[in-house]
Amino acid sequence: MKQIGSVITGTAMAKAWSTGEQPGATGSAGLPATREQRASLSIKVPDELTTIVSASVLHWMALPPETMPWDIDEAEDELTNAASALAHAHADVERALPLVSKEKIADAIGSIAEMLQVSVPSTIGLKLYFHALKELPEYKFEAACLKLIRTHKWPRLPLPADFIEAAKDERQDIEVFRIKLSSARRLVNGALRLLHDRSK
């Protein structure tokens, strides 16, 4: 089947993928040959995720779009495997980063109330906290609590809005990692769709 030179890859990049040579350089655009090479890719993995993200997934996350094998028929098996690995990694990451639970919220409010020497809200008040904070990821909520412990100045419990504001800019390392993982999935799935469309 005829290869397509595109704005993204160009015929030079198509040749590079099929021959293993970069345009104007040597080396491979595919998966690095050794585990050490794969481990050297410059993707920062948050501590919470180091045990569930493989070197292969990190490779596809770090791969620039212009080196993606958009139009190389021989790359279909590699792309299929990559799509599966990225999908599993995405599911594992989401499981490892659950939303905050009612128990976590109640424990945090109790601890902060004790620190500030104020009373804990009533059952109805706690339900309002739960409702307002239930969409926060647990890691964001925990970071917000630590920030409020350091910065809250008033002799009252922080309001739900205080937690949300405190969580807003915390743990950007995890947010950046999730965005890169999602982007890698879109790129690989897009390349696969292009190959499948051309085979029809």
Which of 84, 78, 83, 74 lies closest to 199 in space, CA to CA? 74
Q: Which residue has the tokens 């794969």?
A: 38
Q: Which residue has the tokens 């409702």?
A: 131
Q: Cα–Cα distance between 170 and 166 in angstroms, integer?
A: 7
Tell me the residue length of the chain.
200
What does the pLDDT look like over 145-154, one tens digit per residue? 999 999 999 8
The DSSP bridge partners found for residue 137 are 99
What local confidence, expressed as pLDDT, does residue 70 receive? 58
Token pair of 59 as six digits: 């490779």
User: What's the rounded mean pLDDT across residues 45-51?
Assistant: 91
What local confidence, expressed as pLDDT, does residue 6 receive? 33
Q: Which has more confidence, 65 or 114?
A: 114
Q: Where are the domains of the chain?
A: 1-200
pLDDT at 29 over 60: no
Q: Cα–Cα distance between 167 and 123 in angstroms, integer?
A: 24
